[in-house]
Amino acid sequence: MTILDKIVQQKKKEVEQLKKKPIPEVQPATGQVPSIARTFHNTEHMNIIAEIKRASPSKGSIDLDVDPVKQATLYASNGVGAISVLTDETFFKGSMDDLRAVSKMVDVPLLCKDFFIDEIQIDHAKAAGASIILLIVAAVSSSKLRELYTYAKDQGLDVLCEVHDDDEMITAMDLDADIIGINNRNLKTFEVDLSTTGLLASMVTNPETILISESGIKTREDVAQAAGNGASAVLVGETLMRADDLPKTISELQVPTEGRSSV
C-alpha cells in the first residue's frame, strides 16, 4: 500500500466522522481576497505559494511547534502570492484550526492543503477560510474528481488540480482545470525530480492555464527552471519552514518573470 493509499484510507474514516458533525459557520474574510486565477498572470516576479508544514511523511518533523499565524504573517508581509496550510492531522500534524487562525490574520489567498475525497471536506475548508482547495488527481476517480471540482467552483473556491504524470495531466486538461499544480514529488516513492514540471508543462495547450510547480524547490535556480518551463508560481514548504532568514529566502525565490516562456 502506498502512502497516498494510506492517507486516502484515513480520510475515508475522517469523512464519516465529519458527516456526524455540523459544519462550522463560514469565516468572514479579513479583506478582499483576490483570486489566484486572476492575480497569478502577468506579475513581475514568480509567485510563491508559501506553505505552513509542520511535518510530512517523507521528512518527519519539520517544525512541529510553528506558530502558524506568525509564520503566515511573515509570509504575507514578504510578498508571497498565496499561503498553503497543510490541514491534515495524522500525517502532517496540521489542523483546520491552523487554517482558521491564519485566515483571521492575513488577506492573501489561502490554500487548504489536504486530501479531498468528499464534498463535506470542501464545506469545512471553506468554513475555515480557504479560498483555494487542492484536488489530487491520483487520490480519486475521474468522475469523483469532476464532482468535487464542480462543487468547489460552485462554492466560489479556486481549485488547484494536482498531477504527477502524463495520464493525470490529461485528466486535468479534460476537466478544463484553470490551475494545475505539477508535483515534482512522486507520492508513491517520495522521489523528487524537478524536471517533472518541464515534461508535463509541455503537454498544456491552453495558454490561460496557470501552472504551479510544487515540491522540492530550494533555490533561486530551481525557481528559474520552473519559470523557464512555463510555471507562474512555485509551491514551497520545507525550504521556507526551515529558513533562518525568511525575508531573504523569499526574496531570493522571487525570480523576475521577464522572459518566462509561455505554455
Catalytic residue numbers read 51, 53, 113, 162, 183, 214-215
Q: Which is nearer to ligand LARABZUK, 158 or 214 (CB)?
A: 214
Give the ranges where 202-245 is alpha helix by DSSP (H): 220-228, 238-241
Q: Least CB distance from residue 222 to ligand LARABZUK, whole Å?
A: 10
**Which residue is it, cell 475515508?**
12
Q: Which is nearer to ligand LARABZUK, 30 or 242 (CB)?
A: 242
Instruction: Considering only residues 161 through 220, tell me which ones interact with ligand LARABZUK, judged by CB under 6 A.
Output: 183, 187, 190, 214-217
Is residue 36 a contact partner of residue 48, using CB atoms and an 8 Å limit?
no
Does position 3 interact with ligand LARABZUK (CB under 6 A)? The reply is yes
Does position 237 interact with ligand LARABZUK (CB under 6 A)? The reply is yes
* Cα separation, 183 vs 258, whole angstroms: 24
Does position 85 interact with ligand LARABZUK (CB under 6 A)? The reply is no
Instruction: Considering only residues 12 through 71, tell me which ones interact with ligand LARABZUK, judged by CB under 6 A.
Output: 51, 53, 56-58
Torsion of CA 220, 249, 197, 215, to 10 degrees: 150
Binds ligand LARABZUK (CB under 6 A): choice among 36, 76, 236, 255: 236
Q: What are the beta bridge partners of residue 85?
A: 52, 112
Q: What is the 3-state secondary structure (H, E, C) of 38-61?
A: HHCCCCCECEEEEEECCEECCCEE
